[in-house]
Amino acid sequence: MKEDKIRTDNLLPKRGFFTGISSVFSVFGGTADFNTSNTDEEADYKAIASDWSMIGEDFKKVLLEK
């Protein structure tokens, strides 16, 4: 299965299993770097574009299931 570029968690950090485990033992915190944008408007644009792309994918699935 191919990995889709359309995501609903654009602003959240991308974490793997070992990153999650290591965060349990992090005494000082701050192990997760959030995805950032240069401006608030850019972050909003990315989030809204991703949301609408996901809605479009949902419509495709529904319409092709006939």
Q: Mind listing the pLDDT tens digit for each residue in 3-31? A: 556 666 666 666 677 766 776 776 666 65
Whether residue 46 has pLDDT greater than 80: yes
Question: At a CB cut-off of 8 Å and minimum separation 6, what does 6 contact?
Answer: 50, 53, 54, 57
This prediction has a pTM of: 0.51
The pLDDT value recorded for residue 29 is: 64
pLDDT of residue 5: 61
Alpha-carbon 28 to chain mean position: 25
How far is Cα 34 from Cα 13, in angstroms, rounded to an integer? 4
Task: Using pLDDT thresholds of 50, 70 and 90, give the confidence band for residue 37.
Answer: confident
Which one is predicted more confidently, 15 or 45? 45
d(CA 14, CA 47): 15
CA 33 to CA 37: how far, in whole Å? Answer: 12
Under 8 Å between Cβ of 8 and 54: yes
Domain layout of the chain by residue ranges: 37-66
